Amino acid sequence: MHKQWRLAARPEGIPDASHFDLTDVPIPALEPGKAVVKTLYLGVAPVMLRYMRNETDFESPLALGSVMPGRGVAQVIESDCDGLPVGAIVQARVGWQEYALIDTSDRPAPFLLPTDLPLSHGIGAVSLSGITALIGVRDIGLVKATDRILVSGAAGGVGSHVAEIAKALGAQSVVGIAGGPEKCRRLTTEMGYDRVIDYKNDNVDAALDDAFPEGIDLYFDNVGGSLLDNVLGRLRRRARIAICGSISEYLVDSKDKHRFVNLQNLGRQDAKMEGFFVFDYEEVYPDCIETLADWVRAGALNPVEDISEGIETMPQALADLYLGHNVGVRMVKVGEADLPLS
């Protein structure tokens, strides 16, 4: 038997344990063309609230009673699937459960992870969080050495990687925005940020004036809302904005969402604002993982991970994202690898 979390109710606000049921079910049996995997780590992401509310157009509707969707690091323990050998460590859509039956038809498909690095990095730095940061900075943001760079949600799963990735690509200085003195301290001491604006305690307008007296060249946005509008009014010529997320609006009713007043500045400054979704870049995952892993090995990318133990902690791990309690990549350690790594 193994444990799995199922959706019990649709949350209006921040999800908690009452929105889930923890059940015991048989470990899945191997089927033709598939692989049985044991979950080692599970990640959480702000977009999961939209899954729970059926507010996405990129996922199938999530019925009450369904296993909570999610991606994790897992080890293949049985396989009848080419490309998923027994013993391999993979990043895959496994759901909130201790064992799963997977194949290569998912999009993104399961992918192999390097085993010379901590396996937890397969949730963040050498997986979708790191890939998202890399694509946003390099391919959407077109980072240059002279750029004046701002990152919102800097202490989150993606934002915690952006400064070091930007610097590995040649950037000289990166400013972040986060909430609370401890987060801001850790961003400068552990995550490569040169300066951090504390939106909970600082005057954000005055701090942005001081940090960017000549305007912003590159903005990596994880927050959206009024902060994005503020930045739109501060753009330099040919600035770029990479829209990664909008966590400030996930808990806001549509009638209360921010009304933008500075959008016209994109045209005035010949600037570009582009959204992107990491699932659409599957063809570059192998090259991105190789690049990110090399940076980790070289010490240029230093992952910060916020790990709790046991699948029982999954609801709290998700809630922590909306409560602002996490620093770095929030994840749950579910189990240990049983087989030699391959």
pLDDT-derived band at 257 (thresholds 50, 70, 90) equals confident
Per DSSP (E only), the strands in 188-234 are 195-198, 216-221
Report the pLDDT averaged over residues 47-60. 79
Residues with Cβ < 8 Å from 86, sequence gap 6 or more?
76, 77, 78, 79, 339, 342
Report the C-alpha gap between 119 and 285 in whole angstroms.
17
Q: What pLDDT digit, counting tens, does each position of 132-191 carry? A: 999 999 999 999 999 999 999 999 999 999 999 999 999 999 999 999 999 999 999 999
- Compute the C-alpha angle 100/57/261, nearest 5°: 130
Residues with Cβ < 8 Å from 243, sequence gap 6 or more?
221, 224, 228, 273, 274, 275, 276
Report the C-alpha gap between 131 and 151 in whole angstroms.
16
Q: What pLDDT, on the 0 to 100 scale, is given for residue 62? A: 87
pLDDT-derived band at 252 (thresholds 50, 70, 90) equals low
- Compute the C-alpha angle 220/212/139, nearest 5°: 25
- Least Cα distance to 320 among 6, 46, 94 occurs for 46
Structural domain boundaries in the chain? 2-124+303-333, 128-278
Q: For residue 324, give the 3-state DSSP assignment.
A: coil
Residue 47 has pLDDT above 70, yes or no: yes
- Give the other-Cβ count within 10 Å of 276's Cβ: 16
Residue type, 178: A
Domain 2-124+303-333, CATH homologous superfamily name and number: Medium-chain alcohol dehydrogenases, catalytic domain (3.90.180.10)
Q: What pLDDT, on the 0 to 100 scale, is given for residue 253? A: 66
Mean pLDDT of the chain: 94
Is 2-124+303-333's fold the same as 128-278's?
no
Q: What pLDDT digit, counting tens, does each position of 89-105 carry? A: 999 999 999 999 999 99
Report the C-alpha gap between 329 and 159 in whole angstroms.
9
pLDDT-derived band at 340 (thresholds 50, 70, 90) equals confident
Locate 176 and state its tokens.
């972040």
Q: What pLDDT digit, counting tens, does each position of 265-313 carry? A: 999 999 999 999 999 999 999 999 999 999 999 999 999 999 999 999 9
Report the C-alpha gap between 209 and 61 in whole angstroms.
44
Q: How far is CA 62 from CA 37, 55, 58, 83, in A?
A: 22, 10, 12, 28
Question: 24 forms bridges with which residues in the sheet?
Answer: 3
- According to CATH, what is the number of the domain 128-278? 3.40.50.720
pLDDT-derived band at 106 (thresholds 50, 70, 90) equals confident
Report the pLDDT averaged over residues 127-133. 97
Contact between 126 and 292 under an 8 Å Cβ cutoff? The reply is yes
pTM over 0.85: yes
Least confident of 42-56, 102-116, 136-150, 312-326: 42-56
Residue 59 has pLDDT above 70, yes or no: no
Q: Calculate what percentage of the chain has a pLDDT beyond 90.
A: 87
Residue 341 has pLDDT above 90, yes or no: no
Per DSSP (E only), the strands in 27-120 are 35-43, 71-79, 89-93, 99-102, 111-112
Residues with Cβ < 8 Å from 60, sequence gap 6 or more?
none
Locate 210 and state its tokens.
């001081």
Q: What pLDDT, on the 0 to 100 scale, is given for residue 12? A: 87
pLDDT-derived band at 255 (thresholds 50, 70, 90) equals low
Q: What pLDDT, on the 0 to 100 scale, is given for residue 51? A: 86
Q: What pLDDT, on the 0 to 100 scale, is given for residue 294? A: 98
Report the C-alpha gap between 27 and 5 in whole angstroms.
14
DSSP 295: H
Q: How far is CA 260 from CA 159, 228, 230, 247, 265, in A?
A: 23, 9, 9, 16, 11
pLDDT-derived band at 251 (thresholds 50, 70, 90) equals low
Q: What pLDDT, on the 0 to 100 scale, is given for residue 17? A: 94
Q: What pLDDT, on the 0 to 100 scale, is given for residue 158? A: 97
